Amino acid sequence: MQTRWDSSTTHGRRGFGLRCAAVVAMTLVWAVAQEARAKVLLHASFDSQASSYAGQQGFTTKYCKDTWTAALNGGVIAKTDDGCGCSAVGTSTCDYAVYTSGSNKCYKSEPVDNILVAGDAKWTDYEVSVKLRNADDDTLGLVFRYSNTANYYAVWLSRDVGPGTTAACDGSFPGARLVKVSAKSGKGVAETIATSPKTYQLNKTHLLRVRVKGASIQVFFDSDADGKIDPQSELLFNALDATHGAGAVGLYAYQNGAAPGTACAKGGCWLDDLHVEDLGAPPLADQDGDGVPDDADNCPSLANKSQANYDGDSAGDACDPDADGDGLGNADEQALGMDPLDADTDDDGLGDGQEVQPKDDFDGDGVPNGQDPDSDGDGLPDGLEAGVTSPGVGTDVSKGHFKPDSDPSSKTNLLAKDSDGDGLSDGVEDANANGKVDVCEADPQVADTLPCAGGGDAGGGGTSDAGTSDAGTPDAGTPDAGGAGANDAGGSDSGAPDVAATDGSGGGRGGDAAGQGTGGAADGVSADAPSPNQPLTLTVIDSDEGGCQAAPTGGSPSLLWLLCLAGFVVWRRRSPSDA
């Protein structure tokens, strides 16, 4: 019957195309999944055409007389057709001994040992499969978890003669056997684990598969020779045995080789496409292909083989929107000229995400706040002003921008050079930059003055006032603490000359921490005025202009000044200018 599509609509064709695409996609996904599902431990196609295959691709033979051949048909088969004889009482002339090296390197190497072995003795859980075809009627099979000729498992398929268990000349056993060979009392002993009447068909290609995982042994056989395994209907053996936990694999032939004159000599017998897959831990998914399994990858969908993770969170740097974990996104940091892989770009102790107005340049120094360790230019790092007591992630203390706050309760405004508006910058008030109000420091949170400031700074020089006179009464110069005296010219009143009230011109002694000092002595005249509680004495100066000065003494200061005034009046009356 011919199938015809309705030409009046494209729905059928479009739907068919979509279905085909879906099938192709599903097939590809299945193929990838099958490829990734297990690790291939070994694959041998025996295409070398080697007449002696032992030594090829890591294979070794365990029957010294037989090196197997791959020169007949693209597969591999034993070259001998040897079997074991029987004694008069029916016991085998062969045993499953371990042959040893010596002057006779093939000591105890017998036909029951005709195994072509490959792989690793440490292999534990795996699946091994092989294709087989037989024109003869004797034994072919698989060996697995092989340690030596006295310790292994085997599956034997035969239509006639096979190796014995209690005796190697048991004769005909059509069917299949699951056998365990193990060393007991110094020699190998073969024991049958399970049997089945199923076996190969002559001149047909079959698939034989064995799965071993822990103590579980499963054997599958393509008995209908269709080249496929049906896991339900073609399960040949399902057994448990924990005798052998690990070992290599091998191909087995017993009295079934390509010796001249046999059915196999013309190429009708072979084993081919030996394949071994690991059944241990399933391969781990790695969707980004970086070599790190998804369940251990901190960026499973983005390749990052190094797994770099600056902030130590669950996301690697390659896929973390805030790679340094400072609260400011990577893109924002890059736009602001900050480092997305440094949580404290300016190393001031304040994380990049805590910087205030990071784009602005508050102090006008050309460096934005986010990159400036002292945003307001007051001499105190931003971290100190914000009350940071210890460096955080990303703060490089070697840069010298971080200073720990000794009193985090006394925070200042990191965008105000003078937080309390008293005219003194925060850096002046906290002179030692430790965040704490110490002796002789002002509080940058309270409008005040420096507590240790007086008329003169500690050890500094003060200034002295110059004395003036009025109505002929001289004033004594009044010095500031520790000041240097300076002379003023005396004033005059009503044309009467005043006595020049002279302060000392010499340098004063530096004040102490309280700003107290002493004025310098005058050139031949008075010292600076005494303190208010200091008594005075009167000295009349004999000079052209006349005058008097007060000096410290033990008397009453008010009485002495009156005496000075009376003396001045007497002198004026006696003056020639009054005559």
Is the pTM higher than 0.85?
A: no
Q: Rounded to an integer, what distance in angstroms lies between the CA atom of residue 450 and that of residue 442?
A: 5
Q: Rounded to an integer, what distance in angstroms lies between the CA atom of residue 547 and that of residue 540?
A: 6
Residue 123 token pair: 């292999």
Long-range contacts (CB closer than 8 Å, 24 or more residues apart) made by 538-542: 538/563, 538/564, 538/567, 540/564, 540/567, 541/499
In angstroms, the Cα distances linking 168 to 91, 190, 491 are 7, 10, 149
Per-residue pLDDT of the chain (579 residues; tens, 9 = 90+): 333 333 333 344 444 444 444 444 443 444 444 444 568 999 999 998 899 999 888 999 989 899 999 998 889 999 999 988 765 555 667 888 876 656 666 777 889 999 999 999 999 999 999 999 999 999 999 999 999 999 999 999 999 988 877 554 556 778 999 999 998 876 788 899 999 999 999 999 999 999 999 999 999 999 999 999 999 999 999 999 999 999 999 999 999 999 999 999 999 999 999 999 999 876 678 999 999 999 899 999 999 999 999 999 999 999 999 999 999 999 999 999 999 999 999 999 999 999 999 999 999 999 999 999 999 999 999 999 999 999 988 999 999 999 999 999 889 998 999 998 999 999 898 999 998 999 988 888 899 888 886 543 434 444 434 444 344 444 444 444 434 333 333 343 444 444 433 443 334 343 343 334 444 433 433 334 444 444 444 444 444 444 444 444 444 445 555 555 655 554 454 444 444
Among 143, 84, 139, residue whose Cα is nearest residue 118? 143
Residue 455 token pair: 């008329």
Q: How many residues does the chain have?
A: 579
DSSP 3-state of 146: strand
Q: Rounded to an integer, what distance in angstroms lies between the CA atom of residue 483 and that of residue 463?
A: 4
DSSP 3-state of 295: helix
Concatenating the DSSP letter of every residue in 370-436 gives: GG-SSTT-SSS-HHHHTT--S--TT--GGGS-----S-TTS---TT-SSTT-SSS-HHHHTTT-SSS
Domains defined along the chain, listed by start: 40-278 (2.60.120.200), 324-452 (no CATH)
Helix (H) or strand (E) segment spanning residue 13: helix 11-36
Q: 117, 67 in Cβ contact below 8 A?
A: no
Sort residue 242 into left (φ over 0), alpha (ψ -120 to 50) or beta.
alpha
